[in-house]
Structure 1
Amino acid sequence: MEGDNKETLLRNVEPQNHGTKEDNLRGKVWPETKKIETKMAYEDAIAGLQKLLSENSELGEAAATKVRELTAALAAGTEKETFDPDERIRAGFEHFKKENYEKNPDLYGELAKGQSPKFMVFACSDSRVCPSHVLNFQPGEAFMVRNIASMVPPFDQKKYSGMGAAIEYAVIHLKVENILVIGHSCCGGIKGLMSIPDDGTTQSDFIEQWVNICKPAKTKVKSECNNLDFSEQCSHLEKEAVNVSLGNLLTYPFVREAVLNKTLALKGGHYDFVKGSFELWNLDFNISTVSI
């Protein structure tokens, strides 16, 4: 009778599979939870599974464990199903308004008149590396541009006009005093650049073309760090790509002029969110007024 009860209970919580009853009880053959097909609502399914656990003390340990796993997985699925992006946006703004905007009327009163940021910041679009959080920038402090791998292309009025417009506006109109380019650990864009075959084969419409902006950095890393494994080479490339972007900034005439006049400084940075560290450096470009 005990064996029959176990088999009946298992039929109530598991989809059909081709393993034996003994294998199922030991957990050797158990389909992935995400493949479970049920017409019941998530809440009803969870309630039913919990009832099995509470009312059937004869349920085997292995089967009981699986029921608990199913319950947890279904509960997690319920959380995902109930996520409301609109509500998240509204709640986020309400929090900002209450905790920041309404508590700093003087700051936001000044910002309503205009902006005069000290920094222009290039950062990666990666959701883990927002400069406002990492460097605690307050509203009005930093004029930001974010893109894949925080790269700055060389001056090109047609190909990269959007980037050129941002740099021109920051340097000429906002008169920022510092341009900071930030790389970061575990950067997918840098990994993508490092993975591009030597023959230049591409697999996307835009990504490879974009990250190839810093191909000179890749060439340098592969030459100087060929004894290191792939992940270590990527770590080096994260910083070398920043240096290439800093060099590319000097191809913009108004940036070069401001650097020569010492009204603008170019800085490189690297944020390691694995170690919780930030590295900052300046490059000596040895710039002169002599035309080359």
Structure 2
Amino acid sequence: MAEASYEEAIAGLKKLLSEKAEFQETAAAKIRQITAELVAITAGSTHFDPVDRIRTGFTHFKKSKFDDFIENWVKICTPAKTKTQTNCTDMSFEDKCTNCEKEAVNVSLGNLLSYPFVRESVVNNKLFVRGAHYNFVSGAFELWNLDFKLTPSLVV
């Protein structure tokens, strides 16, 4: 099974390189780099453990890339948390969490509008952006339209 995947990958690479000649130099450089890394790894050692290599690579990725990504992703929705804490003081904690989840969707919708091509398509009614929230416990699915206002430019 692994051999079939390997053969498919090689065939796919050959096809890509035959169609896109401009990638050949980059692909050759990458193959040389990977080969050199593998030679360097196995050169000083009589034992090479691929499972250990994968494990240490995963740990490195998680610590150096993934944790930062998740942290930054969660920070994006800080305005949703602030709005929920301000406007939902009389709700239960569970209801506040649900409200915050929905507000986080609204924040993401607002972020979509920061892309000029998305904003232009929404304004020209070529793209309709909607928010959604799914409650896994009750099975309820809520869908809402994007509510936004365009304000005229201010000249100072």
In the superposition, the TM-score normalised over structure 2's length comes to 0.51
Structure 2 matches for 1:250-269, cutoff 5 A? 250-269=113-132
Query: 1:216: how far off?
Result: 0.6
Query: 1:240: how far off?
Result: 0.6
User: 1:278: which partner in 2?
Assistant: 141
User: 1:214: which partner in 2?
Assistant: 77
Query: 1:286: how far off?
Result: 2.2
Give the letter aligned to residue 126 of structure 2: T
User: 1:76: which partner in 2?
Assistant: none
Give the letter aligned to residue 128 of structure 2: A
**Which structure's residues are more often strand, by fraction?**
1
User: 1:169: which partner in 2?
Assistant: none
> What whole-Å deviation, never above 9, does each CA across 1:172-202 have from its counterpart, x for those lacking one?
xxxxxxxxxxxxxxxxxxxxxxxxxxxxxxx
User: 2:45: which partner in 1?
Assistant: none
Query: 1:291: how far off?
Result: 3.0
Larger radius of gyration: 1
Provide the aligned length of Structure 1 versus Structure 2: 89
The DSSP-based 3-state class of the residue aligned with 1:227 is coil
In the superposition, the TM-score normalised over structure 1's length comes to 0.28
Distance 1:287 1:228 in 2: 31
User: 2:64: which partner in 1?
Assistant: none
Distance 1:232 1:284 in 2: 22
Report sequence identity in percent.
60
User: 2:47: which partner in 1?
Assistant: none
The DSSP-based 3-state class of the residue aligned with 1:235 is helix
Query: 1:268: how far off?
Result: 0.5
> What whole-Å deviation, never above 9, does each CA across 1:255-276 have from its counterpart, x for those lacking one?
1111111101110111112111
Structure 2 matches for 1:216-235, cutoff 5 A? 216-235=79-98
> What whole-Å deviation, never above 9, does each CA across 1:222-268 have from its counterpart, x for those lacking one?
11123334332211111010111111111100011111111011101
Distance 2:85 2:147 in 1: 23
Give the letter aligned to residue 77 of structure 2: C
* Structure 2 unaligned blocks of 5 or more: 2-66
How big is the alpha-carbon RMSD for the aligned residues of Structure 1 and Structure 2?
1.9
Residue 291 (1) aligns with residue 153 (2): yes
